[in-house]
Structure 1
Amino acid sequence: MTKPTILAIESSCDETSAAVIQGGKVLSNIVATQAVHEQYGGVVPELASRAHQQHIIPVVTQALLQANVAKTELNAVAFTRGPGLLGALLVGCTFAKSFALGLNIPLIEVNHMQAHILAHFIDEPKPVFPFLCLTVSGGHTQVVLVKNHLDMQVIGQTTDDAVGEAFDKTAKMLGLPYPGGPMLDKTAASGNPTAYKFPIGNMPGYDFSFSGIKTSVLYFLREQTKQNPNFVQENLADICASVQYTLIQTLLRKLVQASKELGIREIAIAGGVSANTGLRQTLQEYAKKQNWQVYIPAFQYCTDNAGMIAIAAHYQYLSGDFTDQYASPDPRMKIG
């Protein structure tokens, strides 16, 4: 078999992205961000859909040009089927189906969360199967047992809010600008992580809960600002560091538990929150204590991007896992 050349499209939330992969090597990975959401302090689904319509042709054109690949050289077109925002997914799905139909080439639907995990196989070093992957984002928090490229099992997940949402909502309470999570991470760098204590959610098995810490932070800030209206401004770095420390400890406590009980020391993180510097640093510290082999993707493959969709599509292409023109977006698509 010749090396398959695939165009991949990602449009699950507020990033419009296109990538070209050839024989498992990502040749281009173009991402267009949507600044329109900044004034609202969060993603507005309808505005995201409209922005995807504006961006998708330019990013696909640029991805093909950068990869030096002509449309006629493509062997397949891949797209994110879900999970994500319905309107946003619909733009990518419709474009991909039309593009594939016009070229008379196969279509590949990709699970966004599986793609986050498979981003580890774009560059070296690559995890050894089986491994555990902590997938963390604004919409998901999962511990996934990865048996091979296409066989994954969610063994733990959040029972309420995702850790990324906890970061973002805390940032909003503190008055930090959008996007809140990265701003909280940046501010926490100069703070004391043990200045204030917040509760760690205690769920059975490998599951998580983050609604409690958000409520705790809200009440804490209300009480402190009653006594001192300038409390947040005067202690912002310490508050950010303390909240971030608590969220990270909540995540890694479950990861340690799963590693010990399953006897797996190959550990990976994926998803938008895996770009958090505090999480990356703490994971490396845990690796030394737990004798883990840790894998962390490059920053460009942590947040939503088509490169990860491309690598997932590559393995699906090799296994003959294609879809058809009846494929439709699945906002609640699950792993497995």
Structure 2
Amino acid sequence: MTRVLITGTAGFIGFHLAKLLLEEGVEVCGYDGMTDYYDVALKRNRHSMLGEHDGFCATEALLEDRDALDQTADAFRPDVIVHLAAQAGVRYSLENPRAYVDSNVVGTLNVMEAARRLEVRHLLMASTSSVYGANTDMPFGECQKADTQLTIYAATKKANESMGHAYAHLWNLPTTMFRFFTVYGPWGRPDLALFKFVDAILDDRPIDIYNHGEMYRDFTYVDDLVRAIRMLIDVPPVRPETEASIEPGDSLSPVAPYRVVNIGNSDKVRLLDFIDAIEASLGKPAIRNYMPMQMGDVPATWADASLLQRLTGYRPQTDFRDGIDRFVRWFRDYYGK
């Protein structure tokens, strides 16, 4: 593997993955729309850091701009494509659903078309734990039926999974979809809970705690997440000869070189415990504003990451208290607080 095209390199996860690969000596081409969903300066600073590596090049354009994406892909000729760019945010999808269809459905189709045309060795695309929707049987496993999405964001990601399977089947395109579980860490997005909580506590503003804190999340530290993606790059799925040859618990499709993989810490953490850890790291209590459950939200997520471990020998394991401490150090340094 020498050349990897990553969409969303100015984003939180794309930045960390690109940095990891560049440090290994891999050539990385980034593609990012630099949208103003959150602070563009943060995105530009991430790209600036990546630009310090000789092996990095980047294009600034939207996924919906098929010509720009095709020109970038044709010039770079990637061996692997990792598609991370998306309109993110569960709650924002209640306000602006069309942005999710444009970016996450139309944009993803453009990425898949480029991957098909260039016959890349492996296409990896980001999904989300939100596709499990109203499922209550936990920990969530990749072989569970997942047809009860609760937001347009989750629905577009489930659509990506279905589209990816169709392309894998039709064009024999090795495709891995990974489902993220509540990713956090340095250089995180300002709309994510940890960022918002730390910022508010340091500024003596109240924090909104939904469902009165009785929520559980499988918090996954970003370095663990991108390490898992890096290892999955080297495990492209292969179309099985027979359905009977698929091992129990493997989400490998019986009719395509296609697989879904959870990436999570395999540990559900109560939101109130997460907030307690933030307060301990900051040495300052939060002003807590307890609120009811927000529309489209779910009370708990929890990953079964045994398939990831079986495929790669690796599973995320950073304790949330350690991850919070690392984020707080970055936040204080970056914002001078």
Scaled by the length of structure 2, the TM-score of the pair is 0.31
Give the structure, 1 or 2, with the largest relative contact order (CA under 8 Å, sep 6 or more). Answer: 1
**Greater helix percent: which structure?**
1
